[in-house]
Structure 1
Amino acid sequence: MPVSKCKGVYTSKAMQNDVRQGGPLTGRGSAAATNMSDCYPRRPLSSPTRELRNSGDMEIAMDRFNLLASRRGRLSAFFFLYVCEGLPLGFATVAVTSELRREGVGPAAIGAFIAALLVPWSLKWLGGPIVDGVRSRRFGHRRAWILGCQLAMVATLAALSRISVSAQIGMATAIFVVHNLFAALQDVAIDGLAVSSIPDEERGLANALMYVGMLCGQALGGPAVLFLVGQGAFSRGYLLVASAVLLIMALVVLPLREPDPAAAVRDVGVAEGQRDAWASVRNAALLTYQALTGSRGAFACLLFCLLPAGALSLNLSLKSVLAVELGFTPQQLAQLGFAGTLSAACGALAGGLLVQRVGTKQLIALSTLAASIPTLWLMWQLQAHGHIMPSPARQSASSDLGQALWVALIAYQFLASLMIGARFATFMDVTNPRVGATQFATYAALNNVGLAMSASWQGKLAEIWGYPTLLAADVAVGVLGLFVLPFVLRPSPDQIARSDAKEPMRTRMLAVGLALACLCWVPVHQLMDLEPAIRSLLSTPFTLAFTAASVLLLIRSAQDDKPPRQHIFRVTGLLLLLMHARPYLAASISISGFDPRYAPWTHRILDAIPIIAGVVLLAAGRANGYAWSRGLLRLFGRSAAR
């Protein structure tokens, strides 16, 4: 390689390669960068195009607009990136559904449309290993995924603008699912970029701004698009959302430069690009499992995510249910929802500013206890006015209870939102930056599962024992997370590099717990068939247990180097995924034309899968490691002596 006379500086062609590959010239304060002017002839340039005559100079010029290089730039970048995340959700759930109803589409079809759109978001954690494992040196790691997803989002919106959604709702739903699939992958990539680029002291405020950005994006994609489109052609709404995505991509994403991407690639130790992509994804998944179980703090965070973030009833459906029962008009409901959203945004911003002074865990505890006050006050007001059990809607709003609901909701939304930035900053603190997309997406998914479980039992409790009892129980359950919070500790550098000595014990605990859940399925399922209320309470926890058991077995199959054990783990893990198809089994049999008499036998076969999985997981959880495989293999008629 030809080298110039200037010490440590390459000639023009080599410098271009170094800049592209994250070499010495990309470092801050590099001697090569400061002495660059001494290594080229100083001749006048006739135009800006000639000044940026090669890609290396272009890279250096683009660094001036890199928002990740400064505190204010980072906060602004992630705010607008989350605006881009909120746009598709607000557009689909508000603007498109309103247009569908206006064109005569029924509520059932609209409900199925919304349910299909939410599927990619509920499964976005599966894209984490792909985002962490497959990398591009030229375009950056997470930046490449964000760019690709945003281009795909624009392409799908352009395709939707050419068809009539109401007349071709099947095709439109399929395109919208693809659109939201790329939006969910963008979310995973943005979270991974945030974990690796936001310093510790900025994470609380950054997560608060990201939450507010999501709210702004949903408002822009929903009500704002409806207002701008007016009574004109709705196809302009697709172009408006696509233009907003392109604007954010051009002004925010394109100038981004990730911190030291070359070192990150070497540190993770996975393949780059499309070559060996499967090995990259596999290694990223294994590293994520090590990150989740390799330290006490990361493992405790799994339980912390599942527990509710304080009292949640006023953040779920209770506020709307009470408002309807108290006689609120649709306009009053809209005003109540807008005021609550505005109060939540103000609370999140205030919490983001307080977290640096108070501390993340202290602010979470403060917000949890403070949000209990308006919840208990509303409980007292309902008890005092005799509004105990659910009742039909009134013709006019009760002035005292209506005012109490207003005050309680505004105060609750502000106080409960104080912890939003601190809570997600806690997730980031225990996340390994090398697999930040997958690990953070796992925590976020478990957080959503915790919300779903809270919503399931709260509705049943209100119907059985009334609203005051529900609010009291909500406060009692909401503080449980504070007992786990002290154990959510940041992993040490040694724990990030390799698991600590107690990692095998945590794996055994996880395996035994999931095994017991699988073995309990058959008797519990009998109760679920007899009592629908039990089904609504336990369906989500068992879905989580089956999914976690399947992932654990597939991870163990990738870790094991013995083919018999690999096959047992892999086959059992894949069979567990069939449990998710059990609710749709009867409909599938009727559609496919099979004899309905075979349906009971099919259900019995599916009921046997959790029992087999429980036995495999119990054996895998034994303390003596792989010695369990001999007895297990004998059950299948094989000899383990090889």
Structure 2
Amino acid sequence: MSTAADAVPPQAEAWYSRRVMMIAVLGFASGLPLALSGSALQAWFTVSGLKLSTIGWATLIGQAYVLKWLWAPLVDRYAVPLLGRRRGWILLCQLACAACLFGMSLYDPRGDMNAIVLLGVALAVFSATQDIAFDAHRTDLLVTPEQRSWGSALTQSGYRLAMLTSGGLALILADQLGWPLVYQLMAVLMLLASLGTLFSPNAAQVAPPRNLLNAVVEPLAAFFKRKDVLAWIALIILYKLADAFSLALSTTFLLRGVGFSQTEVGSVNKFVGLAAGLAGSLAGGWILLRLRLLPALLVFGAAQALTNLGFAWLTLTGPDVPALVLVVLADQAIGGMGSTAFGVLLMALCDQRYSATQFALLSALAVVGRVYLGPAAAAVVDSIGWGPFFVTTVFTAIPGLYMVWLLRRRITELDVRSA
């Protein structure tokens, strides 16, 4: 006679397993410091009356997130002598992030801005290093399609919830409690989130590279030996191109192109958008189990592009808040689904021996469009206007979808091989 455990389908086992559920907590810990070294810090400096030029320079604090691939080989090669190859790095970085947040709370921007900026840089470095180790940990730990689907969904959900906490909620609390106390509360939250590291299991141990030189060279060599490697690189860069084009100037469009107020844009993006993205990430994990990776990439990729038409529609509605809510709901929910599927693909492409370096490199390729398309987008808007621009961005998804279709057999093999 079968037991209750026997009756649990594989999908449910993946959902309830400790390795997957702890990923959500670690995703939260990964996302928490980002706004606290970025938008929240800008808000603190702004209300403290600092010059705009000073605040502008402070935005460079976040460069560690762009450059993290430079020191990712260190995480592959060396292990902190605690909790295993990946979790030791994660815990060390989480404790360091909490210390930086608490340290920042002890200073006043009006007299000690340099100290806060220095701690902010340290926060960004430790946070980026946590991301390297966490991405490697979940890549090593989640080995079946079901685990990867839910793991990617819960990573996105935890990350977005953290952004809601350290971005939107922190701004609200700061009005009541002041920024120093808010940073102290965030430090406590980081410490609590580190419990996820303690309870997360270790992946099967794989021998690290023999030395640092090998840790730099071998991940690249292993990836470039992959069949159709140039096509893979093109897919990674092009898949989110339509999203990157539409988001490059989205805030400027909503404020200047349509005429929404800063409060309207901030409220809808921070709360409605993040909540929709969280729900979309979870829905993406559920759908992935039924569609599998290849059709999910195709469907979500096409849907992501079509949501750009919503922004074109806003040029006709004008500053109508319900219309903005509807557009942001669709854009962020479907974007969350696409990010979940794309995250599964990146995990499947990584070699466990070098997952820290390879995931850092692949994720850096994935954000090329988001970082560098701003000037091109501005030129197109100047030439044809906002409405035609957003219609045009729909077609920029075609190259990425074509690469998915071109690599359909390889993607299917990745999905099957990990089953």
Q: What TM-score, normalized by structure 1, do the two folds share?
A: 0.58
266, 269, 277: which is aligned to 1:334? 266
Q: In the alignment, is residue 363 of structure 1 matched against residue 282 of structure 2?
A: no
Which amino acid counterpart does residue 474 of structure 1 have in structure 2? T
Q: Which residue of 1 aligns with 2:121?
A: 177
Q: Which residue of 1 aligns with 2:78?
A: 134
Shift in CA distance, 330/381, structure 1 to aligned 2, threshold 3 Å: closer
C-alpha separation in 1, matches of 2:78 and 2:305: 44
Q: Which residue of 2 aligns with 1:79?
A: 24
Shift in CA distance, 163/455, structure 1 to aligned 2, threshold 3 Å: same
Q: Which residue of 1 aligns with 2:182?
A: 237
C-alpha separation in 2, matches of 1:112 and 1:363: 41
How many Å apart are 1:467 and its aligned residue?
A: 2.0
Superposition pairs of residues 538-553 of structure 1, within 5 angstroms: none
Structure 1: gaps (5+ residues): 1-67, 271-279, 388-396, 497-642
Q: Which residue of 2 aligns with 1:421?
A: 340
How many Å apart are 1:306 and its aligned residue?
A: 1.4
Shift in CA distance, 350/310, structure 1 to aligned 2, threshold 3 Å: farther
Shift in CA distance, 227/328, structure 1 to aligned 2, threshold 3 Å: closer
Q: Any conservation in 1 of the 2:77–2:209 contact (CA below 8 Å)?
A: no
Shift in CA distance, 204/351, structure 1 to aligned 2, threshold 3 Å: same
Residues 154-205 of structure 1 deviation map (CA, whole Å, 9 limit, x = unaligned) = 2323332332233121222112101110110000000000110012322122
Which amino acid counterpart does residue 286 of structure 1 have in structure 2? V
Superposition pairs of residues 87-486 of structure 1, within 5 angstroms: 87-115=32-60, 117-136=61-80, 138-201=82-145, 202-249=147-194, 251-261=195-205, 264-265=206-207, 268-270=208-210, 280-296=211-227, 298-309=229-240, 311-312=242-243, 313-318=245-250, 320-337=252-269, 338-376=271-309, 378-379=311-312, 382=315, 385=316, 398-399=319-320, 404-485=323-404, 486=406
Shift in CA distance, 296/103, structure 1 to aligned 2, threshold 3 Å: same
Q: Any conservation in 1 of the 2:285–2:340 contact (CA below 8 Å)?
A: yes
C-alpha separation in 2, matches of 1:230 and 1:403: 27
Residues 11-62 of structure 1 deviation map (CA, whole Å, 9 limit, x = unaligned) = xxxxxxxxxxxxxxxxxxxxxxxxxxxxxxxxxxxxxxxxxxxxxxxxxxxx
C-alpha separation in 1, matches of 2:403 and 2:376: 21
C-alpha separation in 1, matches of 2:16 and 2:231: 30
C-alpha separation in 1, matches of 2:32 and 2:314: 38
Shift in CA distance, 381/69, structure 1 to aligned 2, threshold 3 Å: closer
How many Å apart are 1:453 and its aligned residue?
A: 3.0
Shift in CA distance, 158/481, structure 1 to aligned 2, threshold 3 Å: same
How many Å apart are 1:381 and its aligned residue?
A: 7.0
How many Å apart are 1:368 and its aligned residue?
A: 2.0
Shift in CA distance, 122/112, structure 1 to aligned 2, threshold 3 Å: same
Superposition pairs of residues 507-518 of structure 1, within 5 angstroms: none
How many Å apart are 1:78 and its aligned residue?
A: 1.4
Which amino acid counterpart does residue 223 of structure 1 have in structure 2? G
How many Å apart are 1:483 and its aligned residue?
A: 1.6
How many Å apart are 1:71 and its aligned residue?
A: 4.5
Structure with the largest fraction of helix: 2
C-alpha separation in 2, matches of 1:491 and 1:371: 22
How many Å apart are 1:415 and its aligned residue?
A: 2.5
Shift in CA distance, 381/80, structure 1 to aligned 2, threshold 3 Å: closer
Residues 205-260 of structure 1 deviation map (CA, whole Å, 9 limit, x = unaligned) = 211211121111122223333444544453222321221111122x2212334133
Q: Any conservation in 2 of the 1:319–1:409 contact (CA below 8 Å)?
A: no
Superposition pairs of residues 517-528 of structure 1, within 5 angstroms: none
Residues 373-432 of structure 1 deviation map (CA, whole Å, 9 limit, x = unaligned) = 3434654674xx5x9xxxxxxxxx555xx6555433332332233211111111111110
Q: Any conservation in 1 of the 2:28–2:162 contact (CA below 8 Å)?
A: yes
> Alignment RMSD, CA only?
2.8
C-alpha separation in 2, matches of 1:419 and 1:398: 28
Residues 273-307 of structure 1 deviation map (CA, whole Å, 9 limit, x = unaligned) = xxxxxxx2211112111222011255432221211
Which amino acid counterpart does residue 428 of structure 1 have in structure 2? M
Shift in CA distance, 167/491, structure 1 to aligned 2, threshold 3 Å: farther
Identity of aligned residues (%): 23
Compare relative contact order (CA 8 Å, sep 6+) and give the higher one, 1 or 2.
Answer: 2
Query: What is the SS of the residue equivalent to 1:420?
Result: helix
How many Å apart are 1:435 and its aligned residue?
A: 0.4
C-alpha separation in 1, matches of 2:345 and 2:72: 19
Which amino acid counterpart does residue 203 of structure 2 have in structure 1? P
C-alpha separation in 2, matches of 1:351 and 1:340: 16
Shift in CA distance, 238/71, structure 1 to aligned 2, threshold 3 Å: same
How many Å apart are 1:332 and its aligned residue?
A: 2.1
Structure 2: gaps (5+ residues): 1-12
Query: What is the SS of the residue equivalent to 2:260?
Result: coil
C-alpha separation in 2, matches of 1:95 and 1:379: 30
Which amino acid counterpart does residue 381 of structure 2 have in structure 1? A
Q: Which residue of 1 aligns with 2:5?
A: none
How many Å apart are 1:319 and its aligned residue?
A: 5.3
Structure number with greater Rg is 1
Q: Any conservation in 2 of the 1:314–1:409 contact (CA below 8 Å)?
A: no
Which amino acid counterpart does residue 456 of structure 1 have in structure 2? P
Q: Any conservation in 1 of the 2:19–2:200 contact (CA below 8 Å)?
A: no
